[in-house]
Amino acid sequence: MKEFSTVGKSEWKVDGASLATGRAAFTADMDFRDLLHARILYSPHAHARIIKIDTQKAKSLRGVHGVLTWEDLPRIVHTTAGQGAPEPSPYDSFLLDNKVRFVGDRVCAVAAESPEIAEKALSLIKVEYEILPAILDARDAMKPGAPVIHDEKEAQQVIHTPYDPSKNMAAHVELNIGNVEGGLAEADVALDYEYETHYAQHCPLEPHVAITYLDENGRLIIRTSTQVPFHARRIIAQALGIPVSRVRVIKPRIGGGFGAKQEVLIEGIPAAFTLKTGRPVKLAYSREEEFISARTRHPQIIRLRTGVKKNGDITAIDLGVIMNTGAYGAHALTVICNTGSKTLPLFHCLNVRFVGDSVYTNLPVGGAYRGYGATQGYAAIGIQMDEMAHAIGMDPIEFYKRNHIQVGEISPIIQALGEGREGVEQSLATCGLDECIERGAKEIGWAEKHGKPKEGAIKRGVGMVCLMQGSGIPEVDMGAATIKMNEDGSFNLLIGATDLGTGSDTVLAQIAAEVLTVPLGKIIVYSSDTDMTPFDVGAYASSTTYLSGMAVKKAAENVRDEILSVAAQMFNVSKEETTLRNGEAAAAGKKVSLSRIAHYSLYEREQKQIMGMASHIAHQSPPPFAAHFAEVAVCTETGKVTVVKYVSAVDCGTAINPVLAEGQCEGALLNGISFALTEEYLFDSRGRMLNPNFNYYKIFSARDLPEIKTILVPTFENTGPFGAKSVSEININGPIPAISNAIFDAIGVRMRKSPFTPDRVLKALKGF
């Protein structure tokens, strides 16, 4: 590993003081004169056509300034997925429609002087529905005669992929390499099991919130808690039928996203009211609205068949997935692609088949969620790898070491299957997985604990899983950065990249500081304003450090070249003779400060602004790797599973800021453990969620935290900034399989359906 001045150091977050003291301004923290409050009326039915909406009483209520129904808005079909254009998803959404497709779908909206008046107005609106048959099980979606959820004539696909709304198929993906049936036939052991993952909510501390207003020039300003400001600008302009040039999106501090705010979900409603009334409008979701009307993790039903020889060689992998995209298909294609593309390349296997169907149902809508399909894929593959190892009598650690991809290898799956499109050929340049396995196994005490006899009512066990993910979407997404120099030798870093509380502003500032040889405090960061910062796709696909970081590095290198050119003039030497070190330029035995260089450039010779701008698009997506180890205690009398200790050993290349990297790992782990054990949507027979609150939808908090040990295993990825790869998503993928495998080690039963609640564990123990 290389030694750096700022990179690789656990620097304080650049926004840490403002966050800790409460000065950081989130979306809702700004005061606006004449602010209106928007509220939304939601469908009580899973599937219905709106026959009539009577809004007269609501409109006549004092303090109400507008009511919107589907008849009041342009009927422009679009996608809500915050992805690059053309979006790899069907256009199947309207700001408001004359048909509702799940309990919680939007019917109409009100804007009033106060939230209370808006709520009162909603209660006065009368809606007449034609109730339609509903699909509440993904297995039924493509059966002959199933109700058609998207029968609107405007629904269309944008990216070429099998898409047939008449059969409730939102997306289909298929991959065939080798001969799977032949591979299964030559196996000594063949396994065939079904696995099922469940609905989950992101539960960010800050719910969805947006404030819209007109500036002095009549432009629409959207201040919003979003992960994708530039995509939001494009999609809102499209949905409202106005030019992109008329829209500015500002992303302030964000109180968590986890993928939920990659959706352009709420901004269109307040924007439409602002255009109608000329007044600022605020729309903020309640916690209940987050559950019933925002986005979720896609449930999946996975059938996995594998073949293995007694020596540990995998002869075939056949992965079949039915994914419930809910009522709309914004991420229907890309998530299911990732279920295969982020999991299958981990293993050596000549015979691989992957068939995935994303289907519409009349249930809540699946969206982007940290892990993005890989979480569901590893839930099945990670468990079945353990089953395969046990079937041939091999330690799972040795099984993974024998079968995982190695440096220099090219996976045909990566080339054939990307994220919403064909992949890109890539040769694996870095892989620290063996070291991750060894260090993680030592930390958990694998040799001493795994496979040992268990006694008593509370039995302990250990389980493990290996993982890979990716770093951005190669040859699709792009980031850019601008840096300018000030008189005192400080620098303004302007980035479109979106900090969700992840620390990306700090990480990107560290990259700039490293190139410019200055302390971190000399970098002033301004991010995520579509008028003021250059383009960036936003925070998703584990791309920010790897992709946006390279844009920052290149922009900083351009600035460094400018500094050296000016300094060379001051020294009367060539640029090649001039060096930049510790915030000073030197040549011919002389030194000059950055402040002096800035003054010289701005006020004396040439009088030019020292600045640089760069864009970056990646041609690789180097995967981070991880080995996870879980120790659990299972009560055989109650079925309760307690995670005693969890170890995550992670290869993320160079950790630009180790403490922030560890925080990303540990936050993902706690999220994943909670998902594995307690989080669950409960529905009634009509598709209505029964537990849309934290009283009955249990998420882990700090008090539930088990002992967690994060081990960063350094490698150096040449295509990343200072050797960095991604770290933010991979660790959420491990808890379901690692905990399931640990439960098996403890009590000898396999848990193939999540979450692993006490009742499910007890039923498994009793053979139900």
Q: DSSP character for 148?
A: P
Q: In one letter, which amino acid is 284? A: A
| Among 642, 611, 644, 650, CA closest to 731 | 650
Give the whole-angstrom CA distance, residue 266 versus residue 486: 38
Contact 591, 458 (CB under 8 A): no
Q: Quick one: fold of 296-473+620-765?
A: Aldehyde Oxidoreductase; domain 4 (3.30.365)
Q: Which pLDDT score, from 0 to 100, does residue 161 have?
A: 78
**How distant, in Å, are the alpha carbons of 44, 543, 584 from that of 266?**
19, 24, 49
Neighbours of 241 (CB within 10 A): 10
pLDDT for 102-129, tens place per residue? 999 999 999 999 999 999 999 999 999 9
Contact 68, 109 (CB under 8 A): yes
Q: Which pLDDT score, from 0 to 100, does residue 6 have?
A: 97
Residue spans of the chain under pLDDT 70: 1
Q: Chain-centre distance of CA 325, in angstroms?
A: 16
CATH class belonging to 478-617: alpha beta
Q: Chain-centre distance of CA 314, in angstroms?
A: 31
**How distant, in Å, are the alpha carbons of 27, 625, 636 from that of 726?**
27, 10, 39
Question: Which runs of consecutive H residues, i.e. helices, occur in 360-432?
Answer: 374-391, 396-403, 412-416
Q: Chain-centre distance of CA 350, in angstroms?
A: 30
Neighbours of 85 (CB within 10 A): 11
| Among 643, 674, 703, 646, CA closest to 198 | 674
Do the two domains 296-473+620-765 and 478-617 of this chain adopt the same fold?
yes
Q: At which residue do the structure tokens 């994060």 appear? A: 710
**How distant, in Å, are the alpha carbons of 159, 405, 474, 651 from that of 619?**
21, 20, 5, 20
Reduced to 3 states, what is the DSSP secondary structure of residue 318? strand
**How distant, in Å, are the alpha carbons of 7, 516, 652, 712, 719 from that of 722?**
8, 14, 12, 16, 9
Q: Where are the domains of the chain?
A: 27-132+208-284, 296-473+620-765, 478-617
pLDDT for 564-622, tens place per residue? 999 999 999 999 999 999 999 999 899 999 999 999 999 998 799 999 999 999 999 99
Q: Which pLDDT score, from 0 to 100, does residue 654 have?
A: 97
CATH number for 27-132+208-284 (one of 1.10.510.10, 3.90.1170.50, 3.90.700.10, 3.40.50.2000): it is: 3.90.1170.50
Helix (H) or strand (E) holding 154: none
Contact 300, 197 (CB under 8 A): yes
Q: At which residue do the structure tokens 């109608």 appear? A: 276
Q: Which pLDDT score, from 0 to 100, does residue 631 have?
A: 98
Question: Which runs of consecutive H residues, i.e. helices, occur in 445-548?
Answer: 446-449, 504-516
Contact 689, 364 (CB under 8 A): yes
| Among 319, 329, 411, 326, CA closest to 356 | 319
Burial state string for 618-646 with b = 16 or more CB within 10 A and e = fewer than 16: bebbbbbbbbbbbbbebbbeebbbebebb
Q: At which residue do the structure tokens 């609501």 appear? A: 58
Neighbours of 398 (CB within 10 A): 12
